[in-house]
A = this chain, B = another copy of it.
Amino acid sequence: MVLSEKPGNGGARPGGRTARVRTSVLEAAGDALAERGMDGLDLADVARRAGVGRTTVYRRWGSVPALVADLLQDMAEQSQPRAETGSLIEDLTANAHLVRETLAHPRQGPLFKAIIAAATCDERTARALHRFYEVRVREWAPCVERAVERDELPEGTDAHEVVRAVSAPLYYRLLASGGALDEETAERSARAAVAAARAGVYVR
């Protein structure tokens, strides 16, 4: 659940003017959200930051929730592919570290907080957020499915639920209990998910 890089920095994304405008606008929207939260997000300001005409932004996105939904879709598309180390604990630890790095990142952490806060009171943003996690969970689920095939985990283990279990303690710290988002917490999240999965807790 991490952006590979801030879009627009590497030049590695597919081109075309429409794609470049989208990249600039979504980067500007993410910056604004990270800096000032959802209340500070304004389409005209995003257009100015992106160096794009207001009309373009209004015509293409039309509203703040639509812009945030597109940002989340882009974040899902740009996020890291799963690890494939051949070891369940190593794969899930890699995932836990990615989640931790994202949530502890000076731009990405506030960005996620702002979007999650908005999703608590806006249904469209909530649906876009849920889709983001679905994409991420689907990307990482094969790590768990391979472990079932290798007889590391019981038959019938719900791979999606195991992947969610890795993230949950990190989000709980970020949003509810507080506490350090440190590497130890990330590693413990992965170990807890594996121990519970081995014990058959996630068998459907």
Q: Which residues of A contact B (CB under 8 A)?
A: 37, 113-114, 116-121, 126-127, 129-130, 133-134, 137, 161, 164-165, 167-169, 171-172, 175-179, 188, 191-193, 195-196, 198-199, 201-202
| Nearest CB on B from A103, distance (A) | 11
Offer 30 A-B interface pairs, CB within 8 angstroms, sorted by A.
A113-B121, A116-B120, A116-B176, A117-B117, A117-B120, A119-B175, A120-B175, A126-B178, A133-B176, A133-B178, A161-B188, A164-B172, A164-B177, A167-B177, A168-B168, A168-B169, A171-B171, A172-B172, A188-B201, A191-B196, A191-B199, A192-B193, A192-B201, A192-B202, A193-B196, A195-B195, A195-B198, A195-B199, A195-B201, A198-B199
Residues on the B chain within 8 Å of A201, using CB: 188, 191-192, 195
Given A172-B167, A195-B196, are A120 and B126 also a contact pair (CB < 8 Å)?
Answer: no
Chain B: CB-nearest residue to A37? B121
Contact of A177 among B37, B114, B130, B193 (CB under 8 A): B130
List the B side residues contacting A118 at CB < 8 Å: 117
- Which residues of B sit under 8 angstroms from A161, Cβ to Cβ? 188
- Listed residue (A137, A161, A178, A192) with the most chain B CB atoms within 10 angstroms of its CB: A192
Chain B residue, CB-CB nearest to A114? B120
Which residue of chain B lies nearest to A40 when distances are taken between CB atoms in the complex? Answer: B121
B178 close to A129 (CB less than 8 A)? yes
A137→B176 CA distance, assembly (Å): 12
Task: Provide the residues of chain B in CB contact with A195, threshold 8 Å.
Answer: 195-196, 198-199, 201
Closest to A196 in B: B192
Chain B residue with minimal CB distance to A178? B130
A196 to chain B, nearest CB (A): 4
State how many angstroms separate the Cβ of A37 from the closest Cβ of chain B. Answer: 5
Name the B residues within 8 Å of A165 (CB-CB): 169, 192
Complex-state Cα separation, A171 to B171, whole angstroms? 8
**How far does the alpha carbon of A198 sit from the alpha carbon of B161 in the complex, in Å?**
20
